[in-house]
Copies of this chain bind each other. A is one copy, B any other.
Amino acid sequence: MAAIAILGYGTVGSGVYEVLKTNGESIDKKALQPITIKYVLDLRDFPGDPVEDVLTHDFEDIISDDEVEVVVEVMGGIEPAYTFVKRSILKGKSVCTSNKALVAKHGAELLRLAKENNVNFLFEASVGGGIPIIRPIIRSITSDRIEEITGILNGTTNYMLTKMGDEGLEYDDVLKDAQAKGYAERNPEADVEGHDTCRKIAILASLATGRQVNFEDIYTEGITNVSKTDIDYAKAAGMDIKLVATASFTDKGVWARVCPLIVAPDNPLSGVKDVFNAIKLTGNMLGEVMFYGKGAGKLPTAAAVVSDIVDAVRHKNINLGVHWSEEVQPLLDINNVKVKKLVRFAYNDRDAAFAAVNGIFGSVDFIEGIAEDEAAFITSPAEESTVNENVNKLLNSDGISDVLASIRVEYR
Protein backbone atom coordinates (compact mmCIF):
# COMPACT_ATOMS: atom_id res chain seq x y z
CA MET A 1 0.00 0.00 0.00
CA ALA A 2 1.29 3.47 -0.91
CA ALA A 3 -0.21 6.51 0.81
CA ILE A 4 -0.19 9.84 -1.00
CA ALA A 5 -1.13 13.42 -0.14
CA ILE A 6 -2.50 15.94 -2.64
CA LEU A 7 -1.62 19.61 -2.01
CA GLY A 8 -4.43 21.71 -3.47
CA TYR A 9 -7.96 20.69 -4.41
CA GLY A 10 -8.37 23.07 -7.32
CA THR A 11 -8.79 22.10 -10.98
CA VAL A 12 -5.79 19.78 -11.26
CA GLY A 13 -6.05 18.50 -7.68
CA SER A 14 -9.66 17.46 -8.04
CA GLY A 15 -8.71 15.95 -11.41
CA VAL A 16 -6.02 13.83 -9.74
CA TYR A 17 -8.62 12.67 -7.23
CA GLU A 18 -11.01 11.80 -10.06
CA VAL A 19 -8.41 9.92 -12.15
CA LEU A 20 -7.37 7.84 -9.12
CA LYS A 21 -10.99 7.03 -8.27
CA THR A 22 -12.06 6.28 -11.87
CA ASN A 23 -9.09 4.19 -13.01
CA GLY A 24 -7.97 2.98 -9.58
CA GLU A 25 -7.98 -0.70 -10.41
CA SER A 26 -5.70 -0.53 -13.45
CA ILE A 27 -3.52 2.15 -11.82
CA ASP A 28 -2.95 -0.06 -8.76
CA LYS A 29 -1.95 -2.91 -11.09
CA LYS A 30 0.62 -0.71 -12.82
CA ALA A 31 1.88 0.67 -9.50
CA LEU A 32 2.17 -2.96 -8.29
CA GLN A 33 0.27 -1.98 -5.12
CA PRO A 34 -2.85 -0.06 -4.06
CA ILE A 35 -2.49 3.73 -3.96
CA THR A 36 -4.45 5.45 -1.18
CA ILE A 37 -5.19 9.15 -0.94
CA LYS A 38 -4.51 9.78 2.74
CA TYR A 39 -4.68 13.59 2.73
CA VAL A 40 -5.88 16.42 0.55
CA LEU A 41 -4.61 19.81 1.66
CA ASP A 42 -6.68 22.88 0.94
CA LEU A 43 -7.52 26.04 2.86
CA ARG A 44 -11.16 25.68 1.86
CA ASP A 45 -13.80 23.26 3.13
CA PHE A 46 -15.79 21.08 0.73
CA PRO A 47 -18.94 20.13 2.59
CA GLY A 48 -20.63 17.06 1.11
CA ASP A 49 -17.68 16.29 -1.21
CA PRO A 50 -16.19 12.80 -0.66
CA VAL A 51 -12.81 14.52 -0.26
CA GLU A 52 -14.01 15.73 3.17
CA ASP A 53 -12.89 12.47 4.78
CA VAL A 54 -9.24 13.12 3.94
CA LEU A 55 -9.23 16.92 3.90
CA THR A 56 -6.76 18.79 6.06
CA HIS A 57 -5.93 22.50 6.36
CA ASP A 58 -2.55 21.83 7.91
CA PHE A 59 0.52 20.74 5.94
CA GLU A 60 2.12 19.59 9.22
CA ASP A 61 -0.33 16.64 9.25
CA ILE A 62 1.19 15.47 6.00
CA ILE A 63 4.87 16.16 6.58
CA SER A 64 4.82 14.47 9.98
CA ASP A 65 3.10 11.32 8.70
CA ASP A 66 5.79 8.84 7.72
CA GLU A 67 3.25 6.68 5.91
CA VAL A 68 2.91 9.33 3.18
CA GLU A 69 5.27 8.22 0.42
CA VAL A 70 4.32 10.65 -2.31
CA VAL A 71 3.32 14.31 -2.09
CA VAL A 72 1.42 15.67 -5.10
CA GLU A 73 1.87 19.42 -5.45
CA VAL A 74 -0.87 20.91 -7.62
CA MET A 75 -1.35 24.28 -5.92
CA GLY A 76 0.60 26.33 -8.47
CA GLY A 77 2.69 29.42 -7.76
CA ILE A 78 6.08 29.53 -6.09
CA GLU A 79 5.10 29.85 -2.43
CA PRO A 80 4.12 27.99 -0.36
CA ALA A 81 4.55 25.27 -3.03
CA TYR A 82 8.35 25.52 -2.99
CA THR A 83 8.62 25.25 0.80
CA PHE A 84 6.19 22.33 0.97
CA VAL A 85 7.93 20.45 -1.86
CA LYS A 86 11.39 20.99 -0.41
CA ARG A 87 10.35 19.89 3.07
CA SER A 88 8.65 16.80 1.61
CA ILE A 89 11.76 15.77 -0.29
CA LEU A 90 14.00 16.37 2.73
CA LYS A 91 11.66 14.12 4.72
CA GLY A 92 12.18 11.31 2.20
CA LYS A 93 8.93 11.69 0.27
CA SER A 94 8.79 11.73 -3.53
CA VAL A 95 7.05 14.72 -5.10
CA CYS A 96 4.97 14.92 -8.30
CA THR A 97 4.01 18.35 -9.56
CA SER A 98 2.27 20.09 -12.45
CA ASN A 99 3.71 23.45 -11.42
CA LYS A 100 5.77 24.84 -14.31
CA ALA A 101 6.70 28.04 -12.46
CA LEU A 102 8.16 25.99 -9.61
CA VAL A 103 9.96 23.55 -11.91
CA ALA A 104 11.43 26.26 -14.15
CA LYS A 105 12.76 28.19 -11.14
CA HIS A 106 13.77 25.46 -8.68
CA GLY A 107 13.83 22.25 -10.75
CA ALA A 108 17.61 21.76 -10.64
CA GLU A 109 17.80 22.20 -6.86
CA LEU A 110 14.79 19.98 -6.18
CA LEU A 111 16.18 17.23 -8.43
CA ARG A 112 19.50 17.39 -6.54
CA LEU A 113 17.74 17.20 -3.18
CA ALA A 114 15.63 14.28 -4.44
CA LYS A 115 18.79 12.45 -5.45
CA GLU A 116 20.47 13.16 -2.11
CA ASN A 117 17.41 11.84 -0.31
CA ASN A 118 16.92 8.85 -2.58
CA VAL A 119 13.46 9.88 -3.69
CA ASN A 120 12.05 11.31 -6.95
CA PHE A 121 10.93 14.72 -8.11
CA LEU A 122 8.65 14.24 -11.14
CA PHE A 123 6.99 16.89 -13.28
CA GLU A 124 5.57 15.35 -16.47
CA ALA A 125 2.44 17.54 -16.24
CA SER A 126 4.40 20.80 -16.10
CA VAL A 127 4.85 20.90 -19.90
CA GLY A 128 2.27 19.89 -22.50
CA GLY A 129 -0.43 18.92 -20.02
CA GLY A 130 -1.33 15.34 -20.81
CA ILE A 131 1.21 14.93 -23.63
CA PRO A 132 4.06 12.68 -22.57
CA ILE A 133 7.12 14.83 -23.22
CA ILE A 134 9.31 15.04 -20.11
CA ARG A 135 9.67 11.27 -19.75
CA PRO A 136 10.34 10.76 -23.49
CA ILE A 137 13.13 13.35 -23.34
CA ILE A 138 14.65 11.84 -20.19
CA ARG A 139 14.05 8.15 -20.91
CA SER A 140 13.50 7.65 -24.65
CA ILE A 141 15.62 10.15 -26.55
CA THR A 142 18.78 9.10 -24.72
CA SER A 143 20.86 8.11 -27.72
CA ASP A 144 20.52 11.38 -29.62
CA ARG A 145 22.14 14.75 -29.42
CA ILE A 146 19.05 16.97 -29.36
CA GLU A 147 19.53 19.73 -31.93
CA GLU A 148 16.25 21.56 -31.54
CA ILE A 149 13.07 21.62 -29.48
CA THR A 150 10.26 23.69 -30.90
CA GLY A 151 6.57 23.75 -30.29
CA ILE A 152 3.24 25.21 -29.42
CA LEU A 153 3.17 24.99 -25.64
CA ASN A 154 0.20 27.12 -24.67
CA GLY A 155 -3.35 26.11 -25.50
CA THR A 156 -4.97 29.46 -24.68
CA THR A 157 -2.97 31.48 -27.17
CA ASN A 158 -3.21 28.76 -29.82
CA TYR A 159 -6.97 28.77 -29.44
CA MET A 160 -7.00 32.55 -29.82
CA LEU A 161 -4.76 32.60 -32.90
CA THR A 162 -6.77 29.77 -34.50
CA LYS A 163 -10.01 31.64 -33.94
CA MET A 164 -8.59 34.92 -35.23
CA GLY A 165 -7.50 33.11 -38.39
CA ASP A 166 -10.58 30.96 -38.96
CA GLU A 167 -13.22 33.51 -38.10
CA GLY A 168 -11.45 36.74 -38.96
CA LEU A 169 -11.85 38.15 -35.47
CA GLU A 170 -9.68 40.75 -33.75
CA TYR A 171 -7.50 39.99 -30.73
CA ASP A 172 -9.75 41.69 -28.16
CA ASP A 173 -12.82 39.77 -29.30
CA VAL A 174 -11.17 36.35 -29.19
CA LEU A 175 -9.70 37.14 -25.77
CA LYS A 176 -13.19 37.81 -24.46
CA ASP A 177 -14.42 34.58 -26.05
CA ALA A 178 -11.52 32.59 -24.57
CA GLN A 179 -12.24 34.09 -21.15
CA ALA A 180 -15.94 33.25 -21.47
CA LYS A 181 -15.04 29.64 -22.35
CA GLY A 182 -12.66 29.38 -19.38
CA TYR A 183 -9.60 28.93 -21.62
CA ALA A 184 -8.12 32.29 -20.61
CA GLU A 185 -7.96 33.67 -17.09
CA ARG A 186 -9.40 37.00 -16.08
CA ASN A 187 -5.84 38.27 -15.94
CA PRO A 188 -4.57 36.63 -19.14
CA GLU A 189 -1.04 38.05 -18.94
CA ALA A 190 0.81 34.78 -18.19
CA ASP A 191 -0.64 33.24 -21.35
CA VAL A 192 -0.84 36.10 -23.84
CA GLU A 193 2.51 37.67 -22.96
CA GLY A 194 4.22 34.30 -23.46
CA HIS A 195 5.41 33.86 -19.84
CA ASP A 196 3.78 30.44 -19.52
CA THR A 197 5.33 29.25 -22.78
CA CYS A 198 8.69 30.68 -21.72
CA ARG A 199 8.77 28.64 -18.49
CA LYS A 200 7.88 25.48 -20.39
CA ILE A 201 10.62 25.86 -22.99
CA ALA A 202 13.06 26.70 -20.17
CA ILE A 203 12.23 23.34 -18.55
CA LEU A 204 12.64 21.41 -21.82
CA ALA A 205 15.89 23.22 -22.69
CA SER A 206 17.27 22.50 -19.21
CA LEU A 207 16.55 18.79 -19.65
CA ALA A 208 18.13 18.81 -23.11
CA THR A 209 21.34 20.53 -21.98
CA GLY A 210 21.50 19.07 -18.48
CA ARG A 211 22.07 22.60 -17.21
CA GLN A 212 19.88 25.34 -15.79
CA VAL A 213 18.33 27.44 -18.57
CA ASN A 214 16.97 30.48 -16.75
CA PHE A 215 13.61 31.53 -18.07
CA GLU A 216 14.54 35.17 -17.46
CA ASP A 217 17.27 34.80 -20.12
CA ILE A 218 14.85 33.70 -22.84
CA TYR A 219 13.66 36.30 -25.33
CA THR A 220 9.87 36.30 -24.94
CA GLU A 221 7.24 38.04 -27.01
CA GLY A 222 3.54 37.25 -26.66
CA ILE A 223 0.61 37.57 -29.03
CA THR A 224 -0.84 40.87 -27.81
CA ASN A 225 0.47 42.71 -30.87
CA VAL A 226 -0.77 40.18 -33.42
CA SER A 227 -3.69 41.58 -35.39
CA LYS A 228 -6.26 40.03 -37.67
CA THR A 229 -4.59 41.87 -40.55
CA ASP A 230 -1.20 40.30 -39.74
CA ILE A 231 -2.86 36.90 -39.97
CA ASP A 232 -4.43 37.86 -43.28
CA TYR A 233 -0.99 38.67 -44.68
CA ALA A 234 0.39 35.37 -43.41
CA LYS A 235 -2.51 33.55 -45.02
CA ALA A 236 -1.97 35.43 -48.27
CA ALA A 237 1.57 34.03 -48.19
CA GLY A 238 0.06 30.56 -47.67
CA MET A 239 1.04 30.36 -44.01
CA ASP A 240 -0.21 30.64 -40.42
CA ILE A 241 0.88 32.55 -37.31
CA LYS A 242 1.54 30.47 -34.20
CA LEU A 243 3.08 31.31 -30.81
CA VAL A 244 6.16 29.14 -31.06
CA ALA A 245 8.81 28.39 -28.47
CA THR A 246 12.17 27.27 -29.79
CA ALA A 247 15.38 26.13 -28.16
CA SER A 248 18.26 25.42 -30.49
CA PHE A 249 21.37 23.51 -29.47
CA THR A 250 24.15 24.28 -31.91
CA ASP A 251 27.91 23.85 -32.02
CA LYS A 252 28.22 27.56 -31.24
CA GLY A 253 25.94 27.40 -28.22
CA VAL A 254 22.31 27.46 -27.19
CA TRP A 255 19.65 30.00 -28.04
CA ALA A 256 15.99 30.11 -27.09
CA ARG A 257 13.06 32.26 -28.10
CA VAL A 258 9.30 32.57 -27.61
CA CYS A 259 7.51 34.65 -30.24
CA PRO A 260 4.75 34.69 -32.83
CA LEU A 261 6.11 32.78 -35.80
CA ILE A 262 4.77 32.45 -39.31
CA VAL A 263 4.91 28.75 -40.21
CA ALA A 264 4.59 27.05 -43.58
CA PRO A 265 1.89 24.43 -44.19
CA ASP A 266 4.44 21.61 -44.48
CA ASN A 267 5.55 22.27 -40.90
CA PRO A 268 3.52 19.85 -38.77
CA LEU A 269 3.04 22.66 -36.21
CA SER A 270 0.87 24.52 -38.72
CA GLY A 271 -1.90 21.91 -38.40
CA VAL A 272 -2.03 22.25 -34.60
CA LYS A 273 -5.29 24.04 -33.88
CA ASP A 274 -7.42 25.26 -31.00
CA VAL A 275 -6.26 24.29 -27.51
CA PHE A 276 -3.93 21.56 -28.80
CA ASN A 277 -0.21 21.63 -28.14
CA ALA A 278 2.62 20.01 -30.06
CA ILE A 279 6.29 19.65 -29.32
CA LYS A 280 8.75 18.77 -32.05
CA LEU A 281 12.20 17.41 -31.22
CA THR A 282 15.04 17.10 -33.67
CA GLY A 283 17.80 14.65 -32.85
CA ASN A 284 21.03 14.20 -34.77
CA MET A 285 20.18 10.52 -35.37
CA LEU A 286 16.43 10.41 -34.97
CA GLY A 287 15.47 13.30 -37.19
CA GLU A 288 12.15 14.92 -36.25
CA VAL A 289 9.63 13.47 -33.85
CA MET A 290 6.53 15.30 -32.70
CA PHE A 291 4.25 14.85 -29.69
CA TYR A 292 0.73 16.17 -29.99
CA GLY A 293 -2.30 16.43 -27.73
CA LYS A 294 -4.32 18.57 -25.36
CA GLY A 295 -1.82 20.75 -23.57
CA ALA A 296 -4.09 21.71 -20.72
CA GLY A 297 -7.38 20.84 -19.10
CA LYS A 298 -8.27 19.21 -15.82
CA LEU A 299 -8.24 15.51 -16.71
CA PRO A 300 -5.38 15.39 -19.26
CA THR A 301 -3.11 17.28 -16.84
CA ALA A 302 -4.25 15.16 -13.91
CA ALA A 303 -3.62 11.97 -15.93
CA ALA A 304 -0.01 13.07 -16.43
CA VAL A 305 0.34 13.76 -12.69
CA VAL A 306 -1.05 10.33 -11.83
CA SER A 307 1.38 8.65 -14.26
CA ASP A 308 4.12 10.33 -12.21
CA ILE A 309 2.55 9.01 -9.01
CA VAL A 310 2.68 5.48 -10.46
CA ASP A 311 6.35 6.00 -11.33
CA ALA A 312 7.12 7.38 -7.86
CA VAL A 313 5.41 4.46 -6.15
CA ARG A 314 7.20 1.91 -8.33
CA HIS A 315 10.53 3.57 -7.64
CA LYS A 316 10.34 3.95 -3.86
CA ASN A 317 13.83 4.80 -2.67
CA ILE A 318 15.23 4.44 -6.19
CA ASN A 319 16.23 7.81 -7.61
CA LEU A 320 15.60 7.87 -11.36
CA GLY A 321 18.60 10.09 -12.03
CA VAL A 322 17.55 13.10 -14.09
CA HIS A 323 20.46 15.10 -15.44
CA TRP A 324 19.73 18.83 -14.80
CA SER A 325 22.45 20.56 -12.82
CA GLU A 326 22.30 23.97 -11.15
CA GLU A 327 25.12 25.23 -13.38
CA VAL A 328 23.64 27.96 -15.58
CA GLN A 329 23.57 27.39 -19.35
CA PRO A 330 24.48 30.69 -21.03
CA LEU A 331 22.30 31.60 -23.99
CA LEU A 332 23.41 33.15 -27.25
CA ASP A 333 22.01 36.56 -28.19
CA ILE A 334 19.10 35.98 -30.57
CA ASN A 335 20.18 39.12 -32.43
CA ASN A 336 22.81 36.89 -34.00
CA VAL A 337 20.34 34.17 -35.00
CA LYS A 338 19.36 34.06 -38.65
CA VAL A 339 15.71 34.90 -39.29
CA LYS A 340 13.32 35.84 -42.03
CA LYS A 341 10.63 38.39 -41.24
CA LEU A 342 7.35 39.37 -42.75
CA VAL A 343 7.47 43.17 -42.82
CA ARG A 344 4.20 45.03 -43.18
CA PHE A 345 4.36 48.71 -44.03
CA ALA A 346 2.07 51.65 -44.84
CA TYR A 347 2.95 53.99 -47.67
CA ASN A 348 2.07 57.47 -48.84
CA ASP A 349 3.74 56.89 -52.21
CA ARG A 350 3.49 53.31 -53.45
CA ASP A 351 6.20 53.48 -56.12
CA ALA A 352 8.70 55.23 -53.88
CA ALA A 353 7.95 52.84 -51.03
CA PHE A 354 8.37 49.73 -53.19
CA ALA A 355 11.59 51.14 -54.61
CA ALA A 356 12.84 51.76 -51.07
CA VAL A 357 12.06 48.17 -50.05
CA ASN A 358 13.82 46.75 -53.09
CA GLY A 359 16.77 49.07 -52.45
CA ILE A 360 17.21 47.93 -48.87
CA PHE A 361 16.07 44.27 -48.96
CA GLY A 362 16.83 43.31 -52.56
CA SER A 363 14.11 42.20 -54.90
CA VAL A 364 11.12 40.92 -52.94
CA ASP A 365 7.58 39.69 -53.70
CA PHE A 366 5.02 42.16 -52.39
CA ILE A 367 1.74 41.05 -50.83
CA GLU A 368 -0.98 43.58 -51.54
CA GLY A 369 -4.74 43.90 -51.46
CA ILE A 370 -5.28 43.10 -47.79
CA ALA A 371 -5.71 46.70 -46.64
CA GLU A 372 -5.52 50.07 -48.27
CA ASP A 373 -2.25 51.98 -48.67
CA GLU A 374 -0.16 49.18 -47.30
CA ALA A 375 1.73 46.07 -48.36
CA ALA A 376 4.03 43.41 -46.93
CA PHE A 377 6.94 41.25 -47.98
CA ILE A 378 9.12 38.51 -46.55
CA THR A 379 12.83 39.26 -46.15
CA SER A 380 15.66 36.95 -47.13
CA PRO A 381 17.25 35.16 -44.19
CA ALA A 382 19.81 37.23 -42.30
CA GLU A 383 20.93 37.79 -38.72
CA GLU A 384 18.10 39.31 -36.71
CA SER A 385 20.13 42.47 -35.97
CA THR A 386 20.69 43.02 -39.71
CA VAL A 387 17.01 42.54 -40.50
CA ASN A 388 16.07 44.97 -37.72
CA GLU A 389 18.56 47.58 -38.95
CA ASN A 390 17.09 47.31 -42.43
CA VAL A 391 13.57 47.67 -41.06
CA ASN A 392 14.71 50.83 -39.28
CA LYS A 393 16.20 52.13 -42.53
CA LEU A 394 12.88 51.43 -44.21
CA LEU A 395 11.03 53.44 -41.60
CA ASN A 396 13.06 56.46 -42.61
CA SER A 397 12.66 55.97 -46.35
CA ASP A 398 10.78 58.07 -48.85
CA GLY A 399 7.26 56.89 -49.54
CA ILE A 400 7.02 54.81 -46.34
CA SER A 401 4.69 56.26 -43.70
CA ASP A 402 5.01 53.47 -41.12
CA VAL A 403 6.19 49.94 -40.43
CA LEU A 404 3.06 48.27 -39.09
CA ALA A 405 4.40 44.85 -38.14
CA SER A 406 7.53 42.79 -38.36
CA ILE A 407 6.93 39.10 -37.60
CA ARG A 408 9.43 36.26 -37.75
CA VAL A 409 8.91 33.65 -40.44
CA GLU A 410 10.13 30.12 -39.89
CA TYR A 411 13.47 29.50 -41.48
CA ARG A 412 14.73 25.96 -41.97
Report A's interface with B, CB cutoff 8 A.
18-20, 22-23, 26-27, 29-32, 124, 130-132, 135-136, 139-145, 268, 271, 283-294, 297, 299-300, 302-304, 306-307, 309-311, 314, 321, 323
Which chain B residues border A286 with CB–CB below 8 Å?
130, 293-294, 299-300, 303-304
Q: Which 7 A-B pairs have the closest CB atoms?
A: A143-B306, A289-B293, A132-B140, A285-B303, A290-B292, A142-B310, A130-B286
Copy tally for this chain in the complex stands at: 2
A279 to chain B, nearest CB (A): 10
Judging by beta carbons under 8 Å apart, are B145 and A140 in contact? no
Judging by beta carbons under 8 Å apart, are A130 and B287 in contact? yes
A31 to chain B, nearest CB (A): 8
Given A23-B145, A139-B311, the answer on whether A289 and B321 have CB atoms closer than 8 Å is no
Given A23-B284, A130-B289, the answer on whether A323 and B143 have CB atoms closer than 8 Å is no
9 additional A-B pairs beyond A130-B286, A140-B304, A292-B292, beta carbons within 8 Å, are: A19-B143, A19-B285, A132-B141, A135-B135, A141-B303, A143-B307, A285-B303, A288-B293, A290-B293
Report the bound CA distance from A131 to B20 in whole Å: 29
Judging by beta carbons under 8 Å apart, are A283 and B268 in contact? no
Which chain B residues border A303 with CB–CB below 8 Å?
141, 143-144, 283, 285-286
Which chain B residues border A287 with CB–CB below 8 Å?
130, 293-294, 297, 299-300
Judging by beta carbons under 8 Å apart, are A131 and B289 in contact? yes
Report the bound CA distance from A304 to B144 in whole Å: 9
| Residue of B whose beta carbon sits closest to that of A309 | B143
| Residue of B whose beta carbon sits closest to that of A135 | B140
Report the bound CA distance from A30 to B314 in whole Å: 21
Judging by beta carbons under 8 Å apart, are B32 and A321 in contact? yes
Report the bound CA distance from A304 to B136 in whole Å: 11
9 pairs, A vs B, C-beta closer than 8 Å: A23-B143, A23-B145, A23-B284, A135-B135, A139-B139, A143-B303, A283-B303, A287-B293, A287-B299
Which chain B residues border A124 with CB–CB below 8 Å?
140
| Residue of B whose beta carbon sits closest to that of A131 | B289
| Residue of B whose beta carbon sits closest to that of A210 | B29
Judging by beta carbons under 8 Å apart, are A285 and B142 in contact? no
Report the bound CA distance from A19 to B145 in whole Å: 10
Which chain B residues border A268 with CB–CB below 8 Å?
271, 292
Judging by beta carbons under 8 Å apart, are B294 and A291 in contact? no
A35 to chain B, nearest CB (A): 10
Report the bound CA distance from A337 to B306 in whole Å: 32
Which chain B residues border A299 with CB–CB below 8 Å?
285-287
A89 to chain B, nearest CB (A): 22
| Residue of B whose beta carbon sits closest to that of A29 | B323
Judging by beta carbons under 8 Å apart, are B144 and A23 in contact? yes
Given A130-B289, A132-B289, A300-B285, the answer on whether A140 and B321 have CB atoms closer than 8 Å is no
Contact partner of A307 among B131, B142, B297, CB < 8 A?
B142
Which chain B residues border A20 with CB–CB below 8 Å?
143
Judging by beta carbons under 8 Å apart, are B27 and A143 in contact? yes
Report the bound CA distance from A302 to B27 in whole Å: 32
| Residue of B whose beta carbon sits closest to that of A273 | B266
Judging by beta carbons under 8 Å apart, are B288 and A291 in contact? no
Most buried by B among A19, A285, A304: A285
Judging by beta carbons under 8 Å apart, are B271 and A285 in contact? no
Contact partner of A294 among B145, B288, B297, CB < 8 A?
B288
A207 to chain B, nearest CB (A): 12
Contact partner of A135 among B22, B139, B307, CB < 8 A?
B139
Judging by beta carbons under 8 Å apart, are A30 and B292 in contact? no
Contact partner of A285 among B22, B31, B32, B321, CB < 8 A?
B22
